[in-house]
Amino acid sequence: MLNCRLLIGRMLQNGILLAVMLVAITPRLGRGEVMIRQYQFDPADGGYRLVQKEVPQPVAGKNEVLVRVRATSLNRRDIYMLSDNYGSSGNAAGGIPLSDGAGEVIAIGDGVTRFDVGDRVAGIFFPRWLDGDPDADSLEYARGGSPAGMLSEVIVSDEESLVIIPQHLSFEEAATLPCAAVTAWVGLFKRGTTRPDDFVLLEGTGGVSVFGLIFSSAAGAKPIITSSQDAKLARARNLGAFGVANYRENPDWQKEVLGLTGGAGVDQVLEVGGRDTLPKALEVLAYGGHIALIGGLSGFAPDIPTGALMWRNATASGIYVGSREDFENMNAFITEHEIHPLIDRVFEFDDAAAAFDYMKNGSFMGKIVIRL
């Protein structure tokens, strides 16, 4: 009799526990909907703040793919977006941050032919720029605000806007590729023609420059990189830097760079510094060299000194990331050389705001990742 009473008591307890669990889960499921977490831009003090929200999981429509995002990464553009210094004029409100992310396909819509459930993928920066030269339409929208970005547990994407990621990379590593890596690749190998033994100048140790260091070293070139910190320069040497220059200790760092080339100058430049670095980069540009104009960390240079380019018979290219075809060509190179991106630090999803703060302080080297 006692055993029967104990059994009935346990069954009642379990029933109560089950009911409590169902009550707790119901708000997350909604009315038959699966809910997911994502961050959105919320207007605040002339800019935006990150707000984590629960929203219904999207559904894959015709030619669309549902992706469970596993990792995302930050770029300088994301800081500009947060402070509304990227020309959004309030249009990013309600949008999902971050252009860069990687994950796995969990569902496909009707008509999808490029992917299957379980494929490991990353989103491309410009969803409409698939190959060839860009046009106004293909450059109108970039991921990370409008259209929606990657800082969400699940995203829906047109199948054309995704690529398969290299098999040897983790999701965290693959998440660093869409913006900074493609930019460095296009600057060095598509718009530039980096060859073995070419001297390559890389400014600072952010994402684009570090990818430029890794890529040019793998290609047999001689990368020279600058930084304000000797510890970062030592790390750069371990990544394959031929030479280094500390621009804080030596304001005339361009002379040091020129000396490292034996006076010949550098054949390729990834110009990310802008107003303060462009004149010095041009001083060390070799005859027939190429300079990829990418960023403006010190403010964008208002004028391009055409005389310096003409005198050196050199070329300059404006670089704004690249196409899906560029991404896929870069992935082939990464696979061939078994390249691994440099990740400075990985934050968890709930600590996304701390990841943005960490990027703002500029102490990182390489890429900052948020894991979902």
Q: Model-level pTM?
A: 0.88
- Pick from 327, 321, 337, 128: nearest CA to 218: 337
Contacts of 45 (CB under 8 A, 6+ apart): none
The number of folded domains in the chain is: 2
User: Once rounded to an integer, what is the mean pLDDT over residues 137-154?
Assistant: 89
Reported in sequence order, the residue ranges of the chain that DSSP labels E, i.e. its strands, are 35-44, 47-56, 64-73, 100-108, 120-123, 154-158, 162-164, 199-202, 222-227, 243-246, 266-271, 285-293, 315-318, 343-348, 367-371
Q: What pLDDT score was predicted for residue 153? A: 98
Which of 318, 334, 351 terminates a domain? The answer is 318
Residue 134 sits in which domain range? 35-179+323-363
pLDDT tens digits for 17-75? 333 333 333 334 445 689 999 999 998 887 889 999 999 999 999 999 999 999 999 99
Domain assignment of residue 15, yes or no: no
Region 222-234 average pLDDT: 97
**What does residue 369 show for φ and ψ, rounded to 5 degrees?**
-120, 145
- Lowest-confidence pick of 48-57, 195-204, 232-241, 307-316: 307-316
Domain end: 302, 318, 334, which one?
A: 318
pLDDT of residue 19: 36
| Inside any domain, residue 187 | no
> Quick one: which H or E segment has residue 7?
helix 2-29
User: In this model, does residue 172 exceed pLDDT 50?
Assistant: yes
At 205-216, the pLDDT tens digits run: 999 999 999 999
Look at 27 and 161; give whichever has higher pLDDT.
161
Cα separations (Å) of 366 from 171, 257, 265, 362?
Answer: 16, 21, 26, 11
Is residue 21 a part of any domain in this protein? no
Tell whether 18 is covered by a domain.
no
Same domain assignment for residues 169 and 61: yes
- Mean pLDDT of the region 347-364: 95
Residue 96 tokens read as: 């999902």
CATH number at residue 172: 3.90.180.10
Q: Are residues 214 and 244 in the same domain?
A: yes
Q: Which pLDDT belongs to residue 31?
A: 52
Q: What is the pLDDT of residue 33?
A: 84
Does residue 89 sit in the same domain as residue 108? yes
Q: Are residues 156 and 203 in the same domain?
A: no
159-182: string of b/e by CB count within 10 Å (b at 16+)? bebbbebbeebbbbbbbbbbbbbb
**In the chain, % of residues over pLDDT 90:** 75
Whether the pLDDT of residue 309 is over 70: the answer is: yes
The pLDDT score that the predictor gives to residue 58 is 96
Question: How does pLDDT run across 74-100, given as a tens digit for each residue?
Answer: 999 999 888 876 654 446 788 999 999
Residues 43 and 154 both lie in one domain: yes
Lowest mean pLDDT among 30-34, 105-109, 173-177, 316-320: 30-34
Judge if 302 and 333 occupy the same domain.
Answer: no
Residue 74 lies in a domain: yes
Phi and psi angles of residue 331, each rounded to the nearest 5 degrees, phi first: -60, -35
The answer to whether residue 125 scores a pLDDT higher than 80 is yes
| 369 pLDDT above the threshold of 50 | yes
Average pLDDT over residues 183-203: 97
Comparing C-alpha atoms, which of 192, 231, 237 is closest to residue 217? 237
Residues 48, 110: one domain?
A: yes
Q: Kindly state the average pLDDT of the residues 325-353.
A: 98
Find out whether 242 and 222 touch, Cβ atoms under 8 Å.
Answer: yes
Amino acid 30: pLDDT: 45
CATH code assigned at 290: 3.40.50.720
109-123, 248-262, 280-294, 308-322: segment of lowest average pLDDT: 308-322
Q: Indicate whether 58 and 157 sit together in one domain.
A: yes
Q: Classify residue 285: in a domain, yes or no.
A: yes
Same domain, 167 and 55: yes
Q: Specify the DSSP class assigned to residue 63.
A: T
- Specify the higher pLDDT residue, 145 or 95: 95
pLDDT of 311 above 80:
yes
Domain identity same for 121 and 152: yes
Average pLDDT over the chain, rounded to an integer: 88
d(C-alpha 227, C-alpha 364), whole Å: 12
| Residue 140 included in any domain | yes
Residue 286 and residue 265 in contact, taking contact as beta carbons nearer than 8 Å:
yes
For range 232-245, the mean pLDDT: 97
Inform me whether the pLDDT recorded for 15 exceeds 60.
Answer: no
Do 39 and 128 lie in one domain? The reply is yes
**Rounded Cα–Cα distance for residues 5 and 236 (Å):** 71
Q: Terminus-to-terminus CA distance in the chain, angstroms? A: 51
Has residue 158 been placed in a domain? yes
Q: Are residues 340 and 310 in the same domain?
A: no
Question: What per-residue confidence (pLDDT) applies to 121?
Answer: 98
Summarised one tens digit per residue, pLDDT across range 263-308 is 999 999 999 977 688 989 999 999 999 999 997 554 455 567 777 7
